[in-house]
Chain A
Amino acid sequence: MGRGWSPLNRVRESYALKLAIALVSVVALTVAVGALVQAQTADQLRDDVQGQLTSISESQAGELETWLSNVNRQTRVLSEHPTINAGDTYRKRAVLRDLIADDGVPEGVVAVHYYDADEQTIVTSSAEDFVGVNPARENAPFATSPPTFDDADDVHVSEPFHTSITDFPVVAVMSPVPDDPSKQIIFMVNIEERTQSLTGMVEGGSTVVVDSDGRYIVHPETDQLLTTHGDGADSPVVEQGLAGESGFIEGETSDETGEQMVLAYAPIDSTDWVVAVRVPESEAYALGATVTSNIVGLILIAVVSLGLVGVTVGSNTVISLRQLSEKARAMESGDLGVSLETTRRDEFGTLYDSFDRMRDSLRDQVRESERAREEAEKARERTEDARKEAEERREEAQALSTHLETKASHYEEVMNAAADGDLRVRVDTESKSDAMVAIGESLNEMLDDTERTVASVKRFSAHVSNAVVDVEDSAEEVMATGEEVSESVAEISAGATDQTEHLSEVADRMNDLSASAQEVAATVDEVAATSEQAAAAGELGREAAEDALAEMDAVETATERTVEEIEDLDAEMAAIGDIVEVITEIADRTNMVAINASIEAARSGANGDGFAVVAEEVKSLAEKTKESASDIEGRIERVQSKTSQSVEGMTETSQRVTAGIETVEGAIDALEEIAAYVEETDASIHEINDATESQAEASSAVVTMVDDVASISEETATQAEGVADAAEDQTQTLTSVSRDAEGLAERAAELSELLDDFTVAQGAGPTDDTDFEFAEVEES
């Protein structure tokens, strides 16, 4: 604010200006872009117009040239026509008329003449009106200044001219008749008709043709024909055109209307004519003007719109902010009653509400602080009362202190007198202040005591003088003793140093020991590992033996069961034996029956023969039965004997298995015993291990202790040296004591002299040494 007025600061402090600058910048940018677009368009348009006009002028020049050469050729051809060369006038006229009537001539040719240059008369013509006409009288240029022909093929094109016979300007194209060059064929061309076909190619523009003198040969306005264009032969169109160049000219002023024109020209090669196409600039560049107008219109619309936005948005914002800041300023200067209401509901509405709330809370705080201020005021009044009371007290104290000062100066005088040595003086103790009375009394008492003491001291000093002599003697004795002590201590010191050395040796040994113990411990650890492996192996063996035992138990059980079964079999066999004996018996009896039968048969004779056969047969059967039974018996016996053998074998097996079991059990016991031993060993090893470790630890501890002892002995040595030093110090001290004692003796003498200054009342204090000692005890 205080930096002075500058446009930049002004802008910095004003939102409205910033907005305005922003909008104006946008407008400036729009205008710049518009100008650029307009310039580009104008440039493009100019190129287009130039290209268009140039090409039109060139094409028209080409067209004219074609047409002109066509006319030339026709003229020449006709001049060589046999009838024209040799025929009579009537026939010549017929040819010419037919040519026109059949439309056998190029466009624009209105009449064909047969002309006698010497007579200057048109001998015959396609048009009746021209017959017998003298062209010189019609101011035809070919008559007034006749052209010369190089040969029969030459063709001459005259300048345009007016005739009284035609109401349009004409151009004559002439060629001589080969047989009689003074006779010529003339094509009369209506230049206006050509003109009309040329003009109208460009909207609003026109085509003109000028000759080498700059005269219009073709012009949309007929009355402008043969008038001079611009600077005539010097005008750029003619100069450039005759040089064979085509071109484009801008800003040329029209001869007729005074308008600014653009113009493109192109030469006609076969003649000295130049074709020019002209358009007024306003017409040629009409599109450019429209574009410019539209761009300007667009910019203006943008400006109006930006103005509207700037005014609505900008004004609203700036006005709201300005009013709000004025209110804030009013609040700042203490007016908390400002109105903070708005109908707006946007951010400004919110801002107003926030200010309103802030104002309310400010008002509350102000009220609060005013209340606090009143309380402080009251407290201040209370303090004032207290201060007045204190003032009164102070005055009282002042009076007292004046009295005390007086009293104190009296005391001071007395004390000064006492200080000067007169110990007989005493103070007047009467006072307003009890404390001063007490002080006075104490002072008097003190003076009493002092008087008494000084008297004692006087006697004491004499006593000291005597004692000092004794002290000096004693001190010398002590000094002698002290030197002895010094020597002894030096010896101790040497001893301690030796001890330190021995101890360090011990420490080294102990360290070695400790290392050995650690080695032992390592070995023991290895043994322990081995014994644990053995224990594990024993355990494995034991388990294997127990498995074998279980297997053997199973075998024993199986064997016993087999023995039982065999014994059952044996019993069965015995039963079969009994049955066989029964069968044998039956067979014996049957045999007996058979014998009896055969006997009976023999008795009965022949009748008994059959019977005898049967008996015989029975007998043989019985015998066979008996044989079989004994055979069975034999077999049973064999089986029984084998069974017995099996039983015995089995029993033996059983016994062996039992023995095996016992053996295995013995093995298991042995293995368990081994395991127990191994465990014991293990435990012992652990013990050894522990012992070794503790030994190692112990030796380390010993080492540590030895180190400690060593350091102690070092310390001892050091201290012994200290003691030696101390003893020397003591000696020195004693020397100084001796010296001091001498000084003391001197001082005691001085004291005696000084004490003589004090005047002491007679009878104050003790009178002799005995009393002095008594007094000393009492005082201590």
Chain B
Amino acid sequence: MSVTVTTPARRKNYLNADYGIKSWLLTQDHKRIAILYLVSITFFFVLGGVMAALIRVELATPLGDMVEPDTYNRLFTAHGVVMVFLFLIPSIPAVLGNFLIPLMIGAKDLAFPKLNLGSWYVYNLGAILMVAALLRGGTDTGWTFYTPYSSTFADSEVILTALGAFVVGFSSIMTGLNFIVTIHRMRAPGLTWFRLPLFVWAHYGTSLIQILGTPVVAIAILLVAAERLLHIGIFDPALGGDPVLFQHLFWFYSHPAVYIMILPSMGVISELITAFSRKRIFGYKFVAFSSLAIAVLGFLVWGHHLFVSSQSIYAGLIFSVLSMLVAVPSAVKVFNWTATLYQGSISWQTPMIYALGFIGLFVVGGLTGTMLATLGIDMHVHDTYFVVAHFHYIMVGGAIMGYLGGLHFWWPKITGRLYSVFWSKISAGLIFVGFNLTFFPQFLLGYMGMPRRYHSYPEEFQILNVLSSAGATILGLGYLLPLIYFTWSMRYGERASDNPWGAYGLEWETSSPPPTLNFDEPPVVTTEAYDYLAMRDKKTAA
């Protein structure tokens, strides 16, 4: 505990370069902005988690006996809106991507530091609108805002929440734009495209989606507001509109948005698998291009959300087959990660446990996704708990496992401190077990026919719901632990070396935490990505 007193004067880094609240709120350092984002999204993760906990408590019994139906509807809407727009979409890009992309490509910062800071303020402005909507009673449309319920019938804070999502979208666009320009223009000498870490490739794909998709959902949201406020008939048939049009516009963005959440996570996993196997990734180009393939194909599959929405049978057929295609690049990634382990030097460190857990959960989420893309299965399980289970396997089992794995991996770089190995492994175990117990029963519930967004349900669904709620308790505990030991580590954790994992990558060649301008000497890259042999030779030579 007295470590801080006896430590000699440490070298300047981005954390101790300047002090005071102003040095944070007006910073243009990508690393500090990443920390700002980390604080914001952690807050909203906890908020969204509390909503989830309340939902699971309510569903422990068949009768809707804890909260009113209307309250329940506002709870699951808030859970979805907060988790999707305020946590998942910014999570890996805005925190880890922001921190690491300049480091990984040997740059001093992102291309537009002010735009980067601006994106955080825009994000918070949107978040404030959404929180204001919550404080005024919340919204009851579900995060999907389906019309004409949202545009005409709902008697809740639809406009404020939608406006919040609209504003937050701009922060996402700003981040994406910044990444694309940075990756194109600011790579270190010698760092060719095919020498880039796969984390960077994944973020490049993500950024494309952010820039191309977000405007469409922004337009859809504005149209809902226009119909609600001005009674312009766009979606409500009573006003001459088309209710299904909204679903097309919404999912044109929101399906690719799922890839905004999962692609960066896949990028993290590629880094973790290679670092803890100390081996070049198997099929580098296939993994890199699969990120782009997912980003592009992701724009062509939105109609699989409309198989039972009166969409024509032929449209259903086309969207089904396109959805099958998008599964192939995902499968390619999984097989390449698995093959990378072969002949590796595998270390069971905490981040690696997350990475291996990710593979298992993502496989379940991905395979059930292809089941949902199968027309004859979807018409039964559409809008049931099967869908809820599937997308939680992708977004929680996939995206959050990747986020936490990445956070555990780069934490020593970000803070210059280590955390408790013991507690972090316990936490990873609890999350894996708790997650499966929470969401696996929901697949069974869905096939049995329990629709989603139900406040009360027939008795035969109770056993599985109780299991799910019990799992959620374990999952909640698993998430609480990192909050505690990370906070502890910031002050009391052991000092980390520059490369505590012995991992390959430019970010590990600078100090922990890095100096404000990232590198003392501008790095020059002479080796391929994940070239552990060359790294060892260089070390031996030195």
Q: Do A and B come from one complex?
A: no
Chain B residues with a Cβ under 8 A of chain A: none
